[in-house]
Structure 1
């Protein structure tokens, strides 16, 4: 079973491939503020993430996601796993 920390690692790895990101991401990184992603870039990234994990993150849930840890917890929850 994949652990929440594994999901965090995948998300950080995916963020590292985004050309507009110049900062090193950590689990506590604020996705929009710290990485400088605009709303379109965030939505494109979320779509890639949804494809990677075969989940669909509802828009109302996205509004409460700020950090990579938050995003990993949402993915884990949608996959039926309890976040660590």
Structure 2
């Protein structure tokens, strides 16, 4: 899976958890900040991570949760976790 493929699949998961989407035609980008731009709190971010686990059929380890600040961080988690588990849903 490419970064764009993952971003495309993450977009509806993120949209379902926030009402504060950035303006512009592109919507979400890798540098979109979860807390500042999308106004997500830590609980909402945890729910998004749970949605990602279910959607991509992966398990995200607790040590990966620290340092999740942007949409790009979420893409990186999917890429590295799916790659290490040998599947990219």
TM-score range, shorter chain: 0.7 to 0.9
Q: 1:69 aligns to what?
A: 72
Task: Give the superposition deviation at 1:29.
Answer: 0.6
Point out where structure 1 has 5 or more consecutive residues left out of the alignment.
none
- Partner of 1:73, secondary structure, is helix
Q: 1:10 aligns to what?
A: 9
Q: Deviations over 1:32-79 (max 9, x none)?
A: 221111111111111011100011111221112211111111111111
Q: Distance in 1 between matches of 2:32 and 2:58?
A: 22
Matches within 5 A, 1:1-84: 2-18=1-17, 20-24=18-22, 25-80=28-83
TM-score between both structures, scaled by the size of structure 2: 0.76
Point out where structure 2 has 5 or more consecutive residues left out of the alignment.
23-27, 85-89
Q: RMSD of aligned C-alpha atoms?
A: 1.6
Higher relative contact order, structure no. (Cα contacts within 8 Å, ≥ 6 residues apart) = 1
